[in-house]
């Protein structure tokens, strides 16, 4: 089932990002439609993570425009960006980035609680997601007691708590063994198939081939190739 529509979730126009004398992104433009799963690939230092940070509102471009889910990020102050991240995007990281002091369920619930959702309601929503992700029985475990795959599923649950328009994944299988990596890939495919827009930064061609409907190749801060993909089973 093709869940894509023509609504643009991401629109980058001529974006530049410089760190001192180093140019990380050099006039990059990119569009991602709703329901797409886009894999951003390229060698180390090509600007992949910088691109992800700009789309997530974690960093600001030196020049150009970044629009996500109809919101021009350049117009937002720090609080506005925080509210944007809270409501419009979910992020998963290579190293999971869970809070070690909180049990898995509370890690996920946290994202909803920050919006003012009462604790019980947030935990119910988190449990619902844990159930869907197959980790409900691990809800009370602390991150240190979870396997890598389980931790990444908790991170996915946290990212989905507020029903974001865009799910951003930064090397989501990079720190996992192959079996856990497979499970996470399946999870991302499932999410995209029910309409979740994905933008995945990865080195792994296998992940791109399995999860993405389009591959974008970066080099020296510029898009050098784009390719629509037929997902491999």
Partner 1 sequence: MSRGAGAVWRASRAAVRRRGAQTFVLGVVVFCSTVAIVVALGLLESVSAPFERAFEGRRGAHVVASYDPAEVTAARLGARAPGVEAAAGPFAQAVVTVAGTSEHLPPGPLTVVGRPSPGGPVDRVDLWAGRWPAGEGEIVLDRPGADRFFSYLLGVRFAVREGHTFTVVGLASSVSRSAEAWVTPGQAAALGPSTAQMLYRLDAAATDADVRAGTAALTAGLPSGALLGWQSYLTVKRDAGRTAAAFLPFLTAFGVLGLVVAVLIVANVVSGAVVAGSRHIGVLKALGFTPNQVVAVYLTMVLVPALAGGALGTAAGAVAARPLLDDVGAGVFTVSIGPWVYAATLAGMPAVAVLAALVPALRAHRLPAARAIGAGVPAAPGRGARVQRLLAGAPLPRAVSLGLGLPFGRPGRAGLTLAAVVLGAATVTLAAGLSLTMTAYGQAAQRTGSVHTVVHAGQARNHQTPPRHGDAEIEALLRGLPGAVYVTADAWIGLHLTGRSQPITGRFLRGDSATLGETVVEGRWLRGPGEVVAPSAFLDKRGLAVGDRLSLSLGRARAETTIVGATMDGAADLIQADWRTLTALAPDQRATQYEVRLAPGADTGTYHAAVRAADPGLYPVPKSGTDPVTVAVIGFASLLTVLLGTVAALGVFNTVLLDARERRRDLGVLKSIGMTPRQVTVMMVTSMAALGAAGGLLGLPVGVAAHRLVVPAMADAAGLALPEFMVDVWRAPLLVPLPVAGVVIAVLGALVPARSAARLTIAAVLRDE
- Torsional class of 10: left (φ above 0), alpha (ψ -120 to 50), beta (otherwise): beta
Interface with partner 1 includes 41 (CB under 8 A)?
A: no
Q: Which is nearer to partner 1, 81 or 136 (CB)?
A: 81
Binding mask 194-213 for partner 1 (x = CB under 8 A): --------------------
Distance in Å, CB of 59 to partner 1, minimum: 4
SS3 9: strand
Q: Give the interface segment with partner 1, choosing from 3-11, 86-94, 175-183, 198-206 (CB under 8 A).
A: 86-94
Helix (H) or strand (E) holding 84: helix 78-88
Interface with partner 1 includes 162 (CB under 8 A)?
A: yes
C-beta separation of 156 from 96 below 8 A: no
Interface with partner 1 includes 158 (CB under 8 A)?
A: yes
Distance in Å, CB of 148 to partner 1, minimum: 16
Sheet containing strand 8-19, strands side by side = 22-33, 8-19, 63-68, 71-72
119, 131, 205, 224: which one binds partner 1 (CB under 8 A): 119
Find, among 127, 183, 137, 185, the residue nearest to 160 by Cα: 127
Q: Give the interface segment with partner 1, choosing from 25-33, 107-115, 214-222, 225-233 (CB under 8 A).
A: 107-115
70, 72, 74, 99: which one binds partner 1 (CB under 8 A): 99
**The token pair that represents 194 in the structure block:** 């029910």
Helices (H) and strands (E) in the chain, counts: 7, 10
How far apart CA 16 and CA 221 sit, in angstroms, is 8
**Which positions lie near partner 1, rule CB under 8 A?**
49, 53, 56, 58-59, 78-79, 82-83, 85-87, 90-91, 93, 95, 97-103, 106, 109-111, 113-116, 118-120, 123, 142, 144, 158-159, 162
């Amino acid at each position: 089932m093709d869940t894509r529509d023509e609504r643009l979730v991401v629109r980058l126009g001529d974006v530049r990002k410089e760190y001192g004398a180093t140019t990380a992104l050099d006039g990059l433009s990119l569009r991602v439609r709703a329901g797409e799963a886009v894999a951003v690939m390229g060698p180390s230092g090509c600007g992949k993570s910088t691109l992800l940070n700009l789309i997530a509102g974690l960093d600001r471009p030196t020049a150009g425009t970044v629009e996500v889910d109809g919101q021009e990020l350049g117009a937002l102050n720090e609080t506005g960006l925080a509210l944007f991240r809270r409501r419009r995007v979910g992020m998963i990281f290579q190293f999971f980035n869970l809070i070690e002091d909180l049990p898995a369920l509370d890690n996920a619930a946290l994202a909803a609680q920050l919006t003012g959702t009462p604790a019980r309601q947030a935990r119910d929503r988190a449990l619902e997601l844990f159930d869907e992700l197959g980790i409900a029985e691990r809800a009370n475990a602390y991150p240190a007691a979870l396997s890598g795959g389980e931790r990444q599923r908790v991170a996915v649950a946290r990212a989905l708590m507020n029903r974001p328009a865009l799910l951003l994944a930064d090397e989501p299988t990079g720190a996992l063994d192959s079996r856990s990596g497979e499970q996470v890939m399946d999870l991302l495919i499932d999410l995209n198939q029910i309409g979740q827009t994905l933008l995945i930064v990865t080195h792994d061609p296998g992940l791109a081939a399995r999860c993405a409907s389009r591959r974008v190749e970066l080099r020296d801060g510029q898009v050098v190739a784009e390719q629509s993909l037929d997902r491999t089973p």
